[in-house]
Structure 1
Amino acid sequence: MNILILSVVVLIYLLMVGYVGYVAWKRTSSSEDYMVAGRNTHPYIMALSYGATFISTAAIVGFGGVAGQFGMGILWLVFLNILIGIFIAFVFFGKRTRRMGKKMGALTFPEFLSKRFDSKFIQYFSGIVIFGAMPLYASVVLIGAARFMETTLAMNFDIALLIMAAIIGVYVIFGGIKGVMYTDALQGTIMFVGMLILLGTIYWTLGGVSAAHQALTNMAYLTPQSVVAQGGTGWTSFPVLGSAWWWTLVSSVILGVGIGALAQPQLAVRFMTVESDKELNRAVLIGGVFIFVMTFTAYVVGALSNVYFFQHFGQLAVQAVNGNVDSIIPLFINKAMPEWFSYLFMLTLLAAAMSTISAQFHVQGTAVGHDIYETLRGKKSGKTVSITRIGILISVIIAVILAYILPGSVVAQGTSIFFGLCASAFLPMFVCALFWKRATKEGAIAGLLTGTFMSLFWLLFVHQKEAAGIGLCKLITGSSVLITTMPWPVIDPIVVALPLAFVVTIVVSLLTKPAEDEVLDSSFEKISSN
């Protein structure tokens, strides 16, 4: 790539982001501004911020690469992303979250749950879960962007990581959630244009929609024997029902991320940034179209990259990148696309990474400053924003360190782990908080602890991919996993932990004393649509 042209393009982009971040900083004057954007965000900004936070380099690079490995079956995740992540999230969860959050005066997701159940423990423990687990997600998003910079610019991977982290950290620390959401809207627009062009270009390159998909279907005989042995059947057909390949695709990839979106702290808090239900209604269409274009394009391009690499290099996509699926999309862009598109896609990935990581850093910072520090201290200190900024800085440092030490092909895996953990820990409590008055504090706490610790137990001792890699189970028991009988080693933690947490939440709630009327009145009664 021409370094002069690239420098000019990136400089213009960074100046735009810097200006938007400056505007947000000027408009941030209170804790409410810093944490929930003053509750008066425009629906376009809210929808694009939600979508850009949802879809990151983890989706484009990580899951796009997984599509190159698993094929078109991953398109079921697009369906769940739109049905659950947008429609159900906005229409059913978003409106109640906004109304109840405003009525209770909640500024963060953990505080929302805490005030609904009148439990300080829920607030600081949820903050600990977020601050402890989210760096993994942030680090894999950083890796996704840095891998593209490494491949495209021949830049040292470590330097790319530091540059990304430094830029994002600055405008999040000073601009708060307004800085995050304003820049998200700009970045989401760039992402949308870049992915639309990519979708059209790959079909044009491979001879049209029908020709491209037929060519991929005809390659089924090239499926590696190791994949066939696990149940793989090609790139345009679903794996054998109940096989290891099927369980990995369905439980870890599709269900983990598809369902986990409902309980993402960085997404849920966006519902509390708009003024009324009307803004959420307007945001549904914008968010739905955005998510469809982003995910559909990434997954289709990932799968069809096999056709391109085989036609031009006689290799499958995974073979072309020496087994590191995180490099499939970056390599395809650099080999198949014209040079001018590499500049545009560079900005697309920068935007995707910056929009998601900025939201993650902000949520981690508020978890430290508002949900942990102030809750444990027992009173407001007047230093919430300052402590939050320190928390953001710590989060940036941890994410960079993790990004250095994590292995290859980890982007999609890290995303699935975090989404699954959030779903198991928070979703039962969140659903009951919104829709079931009989849910009690004791039930919510029991479900929170069950979902959190069952997820961690399954990751460390049962799920083959993580348990074998971490090695704790082998150290204690001498075996890489506790249960070797198939399909348990390939069943994702969410399949076990989430239903169990729901059952525990309901049973314990029914066995304990109902909440006081004044607690329920503070969140449920006379909630207007404004």
Structure 2
Amino acid sequence: MTGWLIFFFLLFLASLAYASYKSYQKNRSSDEFMLAGSNIGAILGFLTFSAALFSAFTFMGMPDFFRVHGVGAWIFLGFSDALMVFFLLWFGYALRKRAAIVGYKGVAGFVQNCFQNKWAGYLVFISSFLFLIPYVAIQIRGISIFLNAAFPDLMPYWGWSAFLVAIMLVYSEIGGLKAIMYSDAIQGVILLVVIWIIGWTCLEMAGGLKAGTQAVMESNAALLSLPGPKGLFSSAFLIASAIAIVMIPVSQPQFTTRLVIMKNLKAVHKMAYAVGIFAILVILPTAFIGLYGAVAYSESTTADFLSSALLFDQANPVAALAVVGLFAACLSTTNAQIFALGTELRSLLKGEDKQNMRITKVGILLFSLIVLVFSAMISDELVLLARVSFAGTSMIAPVVLGAVIFKNPPKSLLILSALALSYFVLSLLNWVPVGFTGLPTDAAMYLILIPTTAVLMLFHHFTSKTPHEA
């Protein structure tokens, strides 16, 4: 396999080098560096959005999620992503309309300008920092589990993590956001091809869909129904997950920014439709891999299952391509999200452009070092950790939606989101009750957050003397 691995890695690194060369500009402005010139077409936009959305946690986390928790995993992610696509059609239009009026350098700065309140921007930045850092660490953790299990004598765990982050820093420094988007496009194609090859192979090794399903039925029938063998997929869990995932374009800045920098609204709509199709195509084979795992590796650890199903049980060329595909997925997601934190920091800075860029680049370096430390502390529950990230950032969705909908958004939304975010973080630290009214924390918070947001917005709509923009 070594020969194939070298061949695919060289091919991948050569494509990255070409992408960074095409993206590099000697005398580029900060907007060109951080926002890719705001002229992204539908194809590149769809690939970069999809690659940022479906990454290492999809490739590795979802098969293990299917294996452990059953078919409810499809409802958890597949159905929720379909809802998100419909939401994108409205939100993309409203966001771009508002951004054209107040300007856009990042979500934090955009919200700050809309509310005319510096704390609004700080709230968005704090939310992004608190939950994107662990989300990036998930990607590094996932690829490190796989590579350390596959090549235990080649490099220590921290070496893989440091190597990955070093490539990300060099690559993003050379090409900026445009280079990252090209990397996303490369990763998206690799991910789709590799996951279908492995998924189809695993389905055949399980004896086909009918025989594999029958084997699971005989060994653990709870995997084929809700709420699953561990009772995870309750109605509250699934509804709360759908809300958190639908709110991803609102609350996670790497996605919000990608909607703004598309060259026109038509490109945004094409991108949204394509993301919906991509979601179905990329999640379906993870179910096949999970089915195989439930049949052949029901008692194995996450690391043993993934290294076997994705590597040792595959033909050498496929195994080598899987390694490169996982590395590419982790690299592109790490790139996109660390860079998004840099964009958010820069959007809050005032003063001379070159000085702001220096501060931003130092910030990106610091964010990367924090991610390295955090990746060594998290568990192997990759999908559930990703879900916590989605839910956490969704707590500030009322603020972003208020900024998009209203010309002068109500300040009460800032208080509401700040309280919601604070409680959610404290619940993760077990400093306040985890969940209440018999529901998980995020589901219970949504029961309060959604109707309260609606009431505050309606009250503002009918009482404000300033015309609103919807």
Q: How high is the TM-score relative to the length of structure 2?
A: 0.90
Question: Which residue matches 2:106?
Answer: 108
Residue 352 of structure 1 and its aligned partner are, at CA, apart by 1.3
For the pair 1:350 / 2:327, whether they are aligned, the reply is yes
Alignment of 1:353-502 (within 5 A): 353-371=330-348, 374=349, 378-406=350-378, 408-425=379-396, 427-435=397-405, 437=406, 440-461=409-430, 473=431, 482=433, 487-488=438-439, 491=440, 493-502=441-450
Residue 10 of structure 1 and its aligned partner are, at CA, apart by 1.0
Question: Which residue matches 1:338?
Answer: 315
Alignment of 1:142-157 (within 5 A): 142-154=140-152, 155=154, 156-157=156-157
For the pair 1:261 / 2:248, whether they are aligned, the reply is yes
Aligned alpha-carbon RMSD (Å): 2.9
Q: Report if the CA contact (8 A) 1:147-1:327 is conserved.
A: no
Residue 345 of structure 1 and its aligned partner are, at CA, apart by 0.8
Question: Which residue matches 2:284?
Answer: 296
Alignment of 1:320-339 (within 5 A): 320-321=300-301, 325=302, 328-339=305-316
The aligned length equals 466
Instruction: Read off the aligned partner of 1:429 and give its amino acid letter.
Output: V
Q: Report if the CA contact (8 A) 2:402-2:457 is conserved.
A: no
Residue 69 of structure 1 and its aligned partner are, at CA, apart by 0.5
Alpha-carbon distance in 1 for matches of 2:190, 2:23: 19
Aligned CA distance change for structure 1 residues 500 and 196 (closer, same or farther; 3 Å): same
Task: Structure 1: state its 5+ residue gaps.
Answer: 221-232, 310-315, 462-472, 474-480, 526-530
Aligned CA distance change for structure 1 residues 177 and 434 (closer, same or farther; 3 Å): same
Question: Which residue matches 2:195?
Answer: 195
Aligned to 1:29, the other structure's residue is in SS state coil
For the pair 1:117 / 2:115, whether they are aligned, the reply is yes
Q: Report if the CA contact (8 A) 1:450-1:501 is conserved.
A: no
Q: Report if the CA contact (8 A) 1:72-1:303 is conserved.
A: no
Q: Report if the CA contact (8 A) 1:251-1:495 is conserved.
A: no
Alpha-carbon distance in 1 for matches of 2:267, 2:275: 12
Q: Report if the CA contact (8 A) 1:65-1:327 is conserved.
A: no
Q: Report if the CA contact (8 A) 2:70-2:228 is conserved.
A: no
Alpha-carbon distance in 2 for matches of 1:485, 1:495: 9
Aligned CA distance change for structure 1 residues 430 and 370 (closer, same or farther; 3 Å): closer
Residue 15 of structure 1 and its aligned partner are, at CA, apart by 1.7
Q: Which has the higher contact order (CA 8 A, sep 6+)?
A: 2
Residue 260 of structure 1 and its aligned partner are, at CA, apart by 4.3
Residue 411 of structure 1 and its aligned partner are, at CA, apart by 2.0
Aligned CA distance change for structure 1 residues 105 and 151 (closer, same or farther; 3 Å): same
Residue 60 of structure 1 and its aligned partner are, at CA, apart by 1.9
Q: Report if the CA contact (8 A) 1:113-1:122 is conserved.
A: yes
Deviates more, 1:109-118 or 1:165-174: 109-118
Residue 512 of structure 1 and its aligned partner are, at CA, apart by 6.7
Q: Report if the CA contact (8 A) 2:142-2:380 is conserved.
A: no
Q: Report if the CA contact (8 A) 1:146-1:157 is conserved.
A: yes
Q: Report if the CA contact (8 A) 1:326-1:411 is conserved.
A: no
Of 223, 227, 230, the match for 1:239: 227
Question: Which residue matches 1:313?
Answer: none
Alignment of 1:107-186 (within 5 A): 107-154=105-152, 155=154, 156-186=156-186
Instruction: Read off the aligned partner of 1:173 and give its amino acid letter.
Output: E
Deviates more, 1:4-13 or 1:139-148: 4-13
Instruction: Read off the aligned partner of 1:432 and give its amino acid letter.
Output: G
Q: Report if the CA contact (8 A) 1:252-1:416 is conserved.
A: no
Residue 517 of structure 1 and its aligned partner are, at CA, apart by 3.7
Residue 240 of structure 1 and its aligned partner are, at CA, apart by 7.2
Deviations 1:470-490 (A, max 9, x none): xxx4xxxxxxx84799945xx
Q: Report if the CA contact (8 A) 1:104-1:115 is conserved.
A: yes
Give aligned-pair identity as a percent.
19
Alpha-carbon distance in 1 for matches of 2:435, 2:458: 36
Question: Which residue matches 1:226?
Answer: none
Instruction: Read off the aligned partner of 1:182 and give its amino acid letter.
Output: Y
Question: Which residue matches 2:69?
Answer: 70
Task: Structure 2: state its 5+ residue gaps.
Answer: none
Deviations 1:140-190 (A, max 9, x none): 111111112112223422211111111112112332211211111111111
Instruction: Read off the aligned partner of 1:399 and give its amino acid letter.
Output: V
Aligned CA distance change for structure 1 residues 379 and 248 (closer, same or farther; 3 Å): farther
Deviations 1:382-424 (A, max 9, x none): 4222221111111111101111232x32322321111101112
Alignment of 1:38-77 (within 5 A): 38-77=37-76
Deviates more, 1:326-335 or 1:156-165: 326-335
Aligned to 1:245, the other structure's residue is in SS state coil
